[in-house]
Amino acid sequence: MEIGLDLICAYEKGIIYPRTVLDIDETKFMQDLMGASSEAFNLAIEITHITKDTVETLLGKAHREAKAVGIEGNIMEPELVEEVLAKAQRQAQAVATEGNLETH
């Protein structure tokens, strides 16, 4: 069911507006609404605003950031051991490669 008015014009404070001023592009409106929703979500994540819609994303982000700090700090926690050792291996390989280049 669709209900609406078939206006010819609108009058407000001495100004007459033609009907075209009142036209709404529904596709553009929906795109704008979805864009605004996405931007609001991103802002909520950026400022760490916890809601039922953001909590899962924020917890995942916090976990990734804590893990990165642990790896950077060489913290030997069970969850990080493999990655800390892999980082050490890469660093050792880089030192060995650089040492070989300097001797040649």
In the prediction, which pLDDT does 24 show?
84
The separation between CA 63 and the C-alpha centre of its own chain, rounded to angstroms, equals 16
The mean pLDDT of 8-16, rounded to a whole number, is 91
pLDDT more than 90, % of the chain: 68
Q: Which amino acid is at 38?
A: S
What sign results for the dihedral spanned by CA atoms 67, 68, 73, 76? positive
The mean pLDDT of 61-86, rounded to a whole number, is 93
The pTM for the full model equals: 0.62
Domain extents in the chain: 9-103
The mean pLDDT of 86-101, rounded to a whole number, is 88
The mean pLDDT of 75-81, rounded to a whole number, is 91
Q: How confident is the model at residue 102 (pLDDT cuts 50, 70, 90)?
A: low
In the prediction, which pLDDT does 4 show?
77
